[in-house]
Amino acid sequence: MATINRFADLHDDITAWRRDLHEHPELLFDTHRTSGVVAAKLREFGCDEVVEGIGRTGVVGVIHGKTNKSGKVIALRADMDALPIHETTGAEHASKTDGKMHACGHDGHTAMLLGAATYLAETRNFDGTAVVIFQPAEEGGGGGKEMVDDGMMDRFGVQEVYGMHNYPGLKVGEFATRVGPLMAATDQFTLHIEGLGGHAANPAACIDTTVVSSHIVVALQTIASRNTDPLESIVVSVTSFETESKAYNVIPQRVEIRGTVRTLTPETRDMAEAALTRIVENTAAAYGASATIEYERGYPVTKNHADQTAFAASIAREVAGDSMVNDDVDPVMGGEDFSYMLESRPGAFVFVGNGDTATLHHPDYDFNDDLIPVGCSYWAKLVETAMPA
């Protein structure tokens, strides 16, 4: 593996930063301590510009190379927020806040990008400008969108943007990416089904909302099995089914159903929304019930651009070796709000192996600190190669 030697020296420091962030997890846009730590470190490293409060609690650092003949501006992005999960790792650096934990490794992403920033500010061995982006609220709040909407890309003249996420199950230092859709669009729905409640012993006098709703749950499975091209990918999952009553002898008046729809193309996404609406309204009507539908479009597809993905894969090969890079991995149906940055500028998102650890969002998950020199080297080489001195 051809990691940059400087990161072997910095490994202990960056690990300490990572573990400090892990001990102090913050949710969504509430990353005040984390943002403060990030901004203070970027200033300490000698970044040419450090701006806080972009997209509420986002932080951006600017590092100029030794020269700027190329006029190029390359941005690297990390996420900072944690999850509302009770940590069970038992690690010495475990969360000090009950019910919050870094279960997605954003502590590691932030620490690795800080590591890259200190190296880039120290060496400045490139011709152009590196922009480091630290975003809040990746886990559902759309912090990436807020930063883009706040004018970040224009303000800092960003021309290309790159993102990275650790991936349990891939070996440490193994990279995976692909051109085109890498992660799914994530939509969610809430269905309110209303029938006619009454005594459970007298169903003929009722419109049994539970039965109607059960038919709806089953019928929704046909969006994937009957409405979607068999070569396309889609997930329709019902994740919550709640009746108004917990009694044994009451047919409830109302049922609320929740779930998620994951797709990889705009066409499938539109089709799924239309099919869901049609199935829910008409199934309810078929049994004499009524339905109201709240369909909320979440993060768009994380779609990698061809040239930038080929470039990112070439950097990964340089850092990790040919056999450790898969540049045509299957997409995953999770979502990522780096998608908004990729809608705004060309770029690429890569997965990097976290080793044989608990899965993301699991209470036993912990970011693997062995990954630090790999991730930092990837960032640094990406900048130095995109804008050679």
Nearer to Ni ion, 72 or 102 (CB): 102
Q: Which of 83, 104, 325, 352 binds Ni ion (CB under 5 A)?
A: 104
Nearer to Ni ion, 128 or 300 (CB): 300
Give the binding range for Ni ion (CB under 5 A) out of 104-112, 171-179, 270-278, 316-324.
Answer: 104-112
Residue type, 255: V
> Is residue 101 a contact residue for Ni ion (CB under 5 A)?
no
Q: How far is the CB of 140 from Ni ion (least distance, A)?
A: 11
What does each C-alpha distance from 356 to 176, 235, 243 come to in angstroms? 16, 26, 40
Give the binding range for Ni ion (CB under 5 A) out of 90-98, 100-108, 196-204, 367-375.
Answer: 100-108
**Lookup result for tokens 């060309």:** 346
Two structure tokens written together for 174: 């193994």
Total of chain residues touching Ni ion, rule CB under 5 A: 1
| DSSP symbol at 358 | P
Q: How far is the CB of 66 from Ni ion (least distance, A)?
A: 34
Q: How far is the CB of 264 from Ni ion (least distance, A)?
A: 19
Closest residue to Ni ion using C-beta atoms: 104
**Edge-to-edge strand list for the sheet holding 58-64:** 49-54, 58-64, 129-135, 73-79, 160-167, 347-353, 175-176, 325-326
Nearer to Ni ion, 83 or 212 (CB): 83
Q: How far is the CB of 93 from Ni ion (least distance, A)?
A: 19
> Is residue 83 a contact residue for Ni ion (CB under 5 A)?
no
Q: How far is the CB of 275 from Ni ion (least distance, A)?
A: 29
The number of CA neighbours under 13 Å toward the Cβ of 46 is 9
> Is residue 291 a contact residue for Ni ion (CB under 5 A)?
no
**Lookup result for tokens 């006619």:** 196
Which residues touch 131 (CB under 8 Å, ≥6 apart)?
60, 61, 62, 63, 73, 74, 75, 76, 156, 158
Q: How far is the CB of 296 from Ni ion (least distance, A)?
A: 20
Give the binding range for Ni ion (CB under 5 A) out of 98-106, 192-200, 210-218, 374-382.
Answer: 98-106
Give the binding range for Ni ion (CB under 5 A) out of 63-71, 103-111, 190-198, 308-316.
Answer: 103-111
Nearer to Ni ion, 104 or 376 (CB): 104
The number of CA neighbours under 13 Å toward the Cβ of 278 is 9
Nearer to Ni ion, 42 or 137 (CB): 137
124: left (phi over 0), alpha (psi -120 to 50) or beta: left
> Is residue 376 a contact residue for Ni ion (CB under 5 A)?
no
Q: How far is the CB of 104 from Ni ion (least distance, A)?
A: 3
Q: How far is the CB of 339 from Ni ion (least distance, A)?
A: 13
Element (H, E) at 263: strand 254-263
128: left (phi over 0), alpha (psi -120 to 50) or beta: left
Which residues touch 340 (CB under 8 Å, ≥6 apart)?
142, 144, 145, 148, 299, 300
> Is residue 212 a contact residue for Ni ion (CB under 5 A)?
no
The contact set with Ni ion (CB under 5 A) reads 104
